[in-house]
Amino acid sequence: MAQLSLRDVRKNFKGTEVLRGIDLEIGDRELVVFVGPSGCGKSTLLRMIAGLDDMTSGEFLLNGASMRDVPPSRRGIAMVFQSYALYPHMDVYENMAFGARLQGLDKDEVDRRIQEAARMLRLEPLLKRKPRELSGGQRQRVAIGRALTRKPEVFLLDEPLSNLDAALRSDVRLEIAKLHEDIGGTMIYVTHDQVEAMTLADKIVVMNAGRIEQVGAPRELYERPANTFVATFIGSPR
Ligand code: ADP
Ligand code: MG
């Protein structure tokens, strides 16, 4: 089970309020998409959830337990970054093994998980290659595979398609939807692209300037936008 609660989460950077009181409940196994214009605080919020940065105030609970003093490696949360952040000197196998080894898993278990992730993501023929020998789409799949190998309860994906060309983007988008079905975990997917949001999400969270404007199913946002910002952003005919 992975249920997330954010309570009045705020973040200041040098006196500027970047997150201005975020309240949100995310249910077990949901695929939630955070959408909003560049600079509205999506990545910052994701980093708080992953534990990569502290919040200025507020609380984040996972399955009812406060994560305040829980380090990233103990949260059961894995994040896939926009830039992939692969280790250039390691081959695909080593890249995928890295996080799982940090969790203290033995060699055989790590190997089993890598083979399983590689099968799921069609990376089996590429395990000995270095990142520079891969295409953008393949690198992105390795980044996803590396997160998958940790068997997280919660998957965070920050604009995972933004470095891919249009054709690949729809392929990888389908893969991500399928992955969510296969692994059955909770997934938070960040994008500034409303089409991506509308096609992927169980639930969309529309953000603007550090606040949540509306939360709802894609159709709900389209048919009943809460305000002009949501209507304009989602492109509904209001
Ligand atoms: P998004 O992911 O929605 O594009 P971000 O969360 O990256 O937005 O950034 C939100 C705001 O916080 C932006 O104005 C950005 O410049 C600012 N910001 C993000 N990280 C830092 C940081 N480490 N120091 C100062 N300002 C930051
Ligand atoms: Mg961002």
Average pLDDT over residues 51-71: 95
Distance 39 CA to ligand 2 centre (A): 7
Element (H, E) at 181: helix 166-183
Could you report the predicted ipTM of this complex, rounded to two decimals? 0.98
What is the structure's pLDDT at 236? 65
Record the pTM: 0.91
Distance between CA 178 and CA 183 in Å, rounded? 9
Length of the chain in terms of residues written: 238
Taking CA atoms only, the protein residue closest to ligand 1 atom 24 is 13
Share of the chain above pLDDT 90, in %: 66
User: How do residues 149-183 score in pLDDT, each as one tens digit?
Assistant: 988 899 999 998 877 777 778 877 888 888 888 88
Task: Output the residue whose Cα is nearest ligand 1's atom 26.
Answer: 13
CA pair distance 137, 31, nearest whole angstrom: 21
Q: What is the pLDDT of residue 230?
A: 95
Q: Which of 9, 11, 14, 44 is the pocket-test mutation for ligand 1 (most atoms within 8 Å of CB)?
A: 44
State mean pLDDT over 57-73: 95
- What DSSP string runs through 102-117? HTT--HHHHHHHHHHH
Q: How far is the CA of 32 from the centre of ligand 1 (A)?
A: 21
Nearest to 99 by CA among 116, 89, 87, 88: 87
CA distance 83 to 131: 12
